[in-house]
Structure 1
Amino acid sequence: MSKAQRQQSARDRIKAQRETEKKQEQRKRIATYISVGVVAAAAIGAGWLFAANQSQSEQASANLAPVTLQSDGTVAMGNAGVTAPVIDIYEDFQCPACKQLEETSGTTFKNLAAEGKAKVVYHPLTIFPPQMNRGITRGNSVRAGAAARCVTDGKQWMAYHDKLFANQPDETVEGFKTAELVELGKEAGVTAPDFATCVTSQKHADAYVAASDKTIAANSLSGTPTVKLNGKKMDQNTAFVPSELRQAVLDAAK
C-alpha cells in the first residue's frame, strides 16, 4: 500500500469514527429530550391532577341545615344558634358563573352550614340590565327569581334553587318560561298549593326586582356571583375552590 493510500485509509477511519461519535451524540440528545419530555409531561399531569383535586366538589352531607325564608327575599341556612361566620352569596339564576359556583362549591356551602361551622345567606337577584340580549336574559332571570319566591318551605326552596341552576337556559334564548318553572317546582317537590298560579302570574316579580335593585346598590355589586365572608368580599380563587373555601371559613371562625 502506497503512502498516499495509507493516508487516505487513515482519513477514512477518522471520518468513520467521527460519524459514529456524531450518531452516538445524537442518540444521547434524543434520549435526553425524551426523558425531559416525560418528566415535563408528568409534572404537567401532576399539576392538572393537583388542580383538579383542589377544585373537586365535596360529597354532600346526609343532612341539610334548617333553611329559613326571610321577609326581604333572602334565604338563610344554618343550625340553631350559629350566627357566625356568615357567608353571603349574591347570585343570579341566569348567570352562568353562578351555575359554575353552585356546581363546584354549592355542596361545600351546604356542608359548612350542616356542620354548624357557618351561617349561609342566599341573595337571589338580577344583575343583567334590561337592554342585554334585547331583554331576553333579564326576563329569564326575573321570571326565575320571582318563581323562587313562590316557594314557601325552606327545604323545598333549596331543592328548587338547585333545580333552577341545573336547568339554566342559554343567555341568548328565551328560557325559564312560566310553564317550565312550574314543572321544575313539581320535580323539586314543591307543595305550596298556589305555587303554579303564583309562578304563572309572576306575583312576586315587582317585589323581587325592587329588592334586587336595592341589594345591588347597597352592596355596590358589579357582577355575580359575589361571595362575602363576614362582610368581606371573597376572592374568586377561594370561592371556586372547595378546599380553599372551607379553610377560609374555618379560619374566620377562630
Structure 2
Amino acid sequence: MNAKTPGQSLPPKKDRREVARETARIQREEQKKRDTRNRWFLRGGIGLALVAVAAIVAVLIVGSIKPPSPGPLNMASDGILMQGDGTTISAVPTAATAADAEPVPTDVSALTDTVNIAVYVDYLCPYCGQFETTNGAQLASWLTAGNITLETHPISILDQSSSGSKYSTRSANTAACVANYQPDSFLDVNAALFANQPTEGTTGLSNAELVSLVEEAGVTDEAVATCITDQEFSGWVGDATDRALDNPLPNTDIGALTGTPTVLVQGVQYTGDLGDAAAFEAFVMEQATATTDTSGTDTGE
C-alpha cells in the first residue's frame, strides 16, 4: 500500500478510476496536439526548404544566363583584320559591335588584290603556338608587302586547362583590349602572347604579367592596362567563342568551329602540317592561283 500524503485524504476507489481515465484522456489530447504541431512544423520546414532550394536554383540559373557584352572596336567580325601597304602593317578600322547585335563578317569580295587568311586561335593552345612559331614571320612579311590580309579571331576554349585562372579568356581579352585601344600593335602582341605561351594545366600569366607583356610589345596606351585588369571584354570573348562554336564560319563552306588553330586561306581550311612552313606556303600559293584562275586577278606575290 502506498503511503498516504500527510494532511491529504485519498479519494474513493471509483473516483480514482475516473481521475485516471480523465488524466489519460487529457494526455491523449495533448499528444494529438503535439503530433499536429509537429506535422505542421515538418510540412512548413519542407516547404521552406523547397523554397530555399528553388531560390538557389533560380540564382544559379540567372547567374549562368549572362547578358550579351559589347565588342571592342575594330573587331566587328569577331576578329581583327590586318593589312599592309608595302611598308607598314595596320588594322582595318571598324565600329564596335553592340551588345545585342550580331557580328558583321568581313566583306572579302572587296579584297580582290590580296590572299585572305583567317585564323581562329586560343592563346593557350599549343598547336596554335606551333603554327605561329612556324609561320608567323612569313605571315608578317606577306602582310607588310600587301600580298595578304590576316584576320585573327581570339577565342577561349581551353579555360578548363588553366587551373581555374581562365587564362584562355584573359589572354583573348588582352588581345581584344589591344584591338580596341591600340589596334596597329595587335600583330606584335599576338606574337608576344605566343612567345610567352604557358603550358596547359598551369595558371598562365597573371593580369599584371599580361600588362607587362603588352607594354614590352610596344603598347603605350594606358587604357589597355586598365582594360586587361578589369577584364573589359571577357564577356564578349565568351560570346564570340559561342558564336564560333555554334554557327558556320563566315566566308567559308565550313560548319561550326571544332578546334584550334583553324586556318583558312581564301575560305579553304588548311589541314597540313602546322609545323611545316613550306607546306603552308605551298597551300597559300595554291589558293592564290585558284583565285587567279577563277577571277582573272593576280593575287600572288
With the shorter chain as reference, the TM-score category is 0.5 to 0.7
Counterpart code for 1:208: V
Distance 1:101 1:123, change over 3 A: same
Equivalence for 2:213? 184
The TM-score with structure 1 as length reference comes to 0.66
Structure (1/2) with the larger helix percentage? 1
Equivalence for 1:215? 244
Shift of residue 156, structure 1, vs aligned partner: 1.4
1:147 to 2:152 alignment: no
Within 1, Cα distance between the matches of 2:182 and 2:197? 22
Counterpart code for 1:170: T
Asked if 2 retains the 8 angstrom alpha-carbon contact of 1:72 and 1:211, the reply is no
1:245 to 2:280 alignment: yes
1:79 to 2:115 alignment: no
* RMSD (CA atoms): 2.2
Percent identical across equivalent pairs? 30
Counterpart code for 2:168: S
Shift of residue 110, structure 1, vs aligned partner: 1.6
Aligned to 2:222, the other structure's residue is in SS state coil
Distance 1:197 1:144, change over 3 A: same
Counterpart code for 2:154: P
| Cα deviation 1:126-148 (Å, max 9, x = unaligned) | 122x5x34x63770110011111
Shift of residue 171, structure 1, vs aligned partner: 1.2
Structure possessing the higher relative contact order (Cα contacts under 8 Å, 6 or more residues apart) = 1
1:126 to 2:135 alignment: no
Asked if 1 retains the 8 angstrom alpha-carbon contact of 2:120 and 2:152, the reply is yes
The TM-score with structure 2 as length reference comes to 0.56
Within 1, Cα distance between the matches of 2:264 and 2:190? 19
Aligned to 1:69, the other structure's residue is in SS state coil
Within 2, Cα distance between the matches of 1:115 and 1:253? 15
Long gaps (5+) in structure 1: 1-67
Aligned to 2:163, the other structure's residue is in SS state helix
Count of residues in correspondence between the two structures? 183
Shift of residue 82, structure 1, vs aligned partner: 4.7
Worse overlay, 90-99 or 242-251: 242-251
Shift of residue 85, structure 1, vs aligned partner: 2.2
Trace 1:87-236 onto structure 2 (pairs within 5 A). Answer: 87-128=117-158, 132-133=160-161, 136=163, 139-151=166-178, 152-218=181-247, 219=249, 220-236=256-272
Counterpart code for 1:118: I
Structure with higher Rg: it is 2
